[in-house]
Structure 1
């Protein structure tokens, strides 16, 4: 099992933070283009699911799988979007993404007077805490190859 990367977007589609651990293949485009593509896909998926769902849309969009990876999604009430890509064997990470929001983002971005909300996160303390948290997860495994 492994975690490839994480994106944090604000409600306007600005990528506030990106970090990768075990990503082997790059997108072949600039990071800015990749961020726009990712946000657009998430926006479209949420719209599609809300319109096509045959049942109540209470939980919303949580994840999707391809034959190579699994994308996990968590959105806060304020519209922050946390996206984590993992391998296929990782189960639901909704609680993990919520913990990243409540225990790391809130503590080390929102409560940090040096961080400005709505601007890219450059805090080394945030990066360090997030990295330690993710590396401590039972399904994190450093890929060898």
Structure 2
């Protein structure tokens, strides 16, 4: 058993965070403008820099890191400033390049995942006749787990179909790294509709939490 991927959606139905682990088929990078910046470097379209337009290669990194890599203290950044390179402390190695692709762009995949969650949640509420919660569903190839906060944020995780409910893991992510590095960070603009969760400490904390689970292998 294992964990495949994690999606976080805001109250506006926009995917603001993505991370994957044991995916044999990763989606294609999103089309330009299809997802917010900083959702995930693994699936984000790389913008052409001035050097790239001139014919030379350039490494892309987000200029909106909101924590000092050496002290962990919240710092102010200028959008127009030069990009801040990731330090070894904050770098989370990307998974090995997959041998195949789903053939679907990530922005389309994110919409499909959210559409499934919304449709099943509405169906359950209508059929149950009471305030029933949708927590997970299973197919022959994966199991989808959902945790929704009172403020409308949805945490969605895909795992092995034989896995037990991972709702408690999603709740741990919410009350732990999400509150610590996103909600309580004064420089993270919640509901901005302009940026994803651009915080490498948040990404590293989730990676450490997930890899420490007994289901992760």
How far apart are 1:37 and its partner, in Å?
1.2
Q: Secondary structure at the match of 1:74?
A: strand
1:77 aligns with: 150
Q: Secondary structure at the match of 2:104?
A: coil
The 1-side partners of 2:109 and 2:187 are apart by: 27
- Structure 1 stretches of 4+ with a deviation exceeding 6 A read none
The 2-side partners of 1:48 and 1:30 are apart by: 27
Consecutive unaligned residues of structure 1, counting only runs of 5 or more, are: none
Question: How high is the TM-score relative to the length of structure 2?
Answer: 0.62
2:5 aligns with: 5
2:136 aligns with: 63
1:127 aligns with: 203
How far apart are 1:89 and its partner, in Å?
2.1
The 1-side partners of 2:13 and 2:110 are apart by: 8
Consecutive unaligned residues of structure 2, counting only runs of 5 or more, are: 27-101
Q: Secondary structure at the match of 1:113?
A: coil
The 2-side partners of 1:123 and 1:91 are apart by: 29
The 1-side partners of 2:213 and 2:188 are apart by: 26
The 1-side partners of 2:11 and 2:103 are apart by: 26
Q: 1:101 aligns with which of 154, 166, 174?
A: 174
2:121 aligns with: 46
How far apart are 1:31 and its partner, in Å?
1.1
The 2-side partners of 1:85 and 1:109 are apart by: 22
RMSD: 1.2
Question: How high is the TM-score relative to the length of structure 1?
Answer: 0.91
1:14 aligns with: 14
Q: Paired residues, what number?
A: 139
How far apart are 1:57 and its partner, in Å?
2.9
The 2-side partners of 1:68 and 1:104 are apart by: 29
The 2-side partners of 1:70 and 1:45 are apart by: 14
Query: Larger Cα Rg: Structure 1 or Structure 2?
Result: 2
The 2-side partners of 1:67 and 1:57 are apart by: 28
Higher helix share: 1
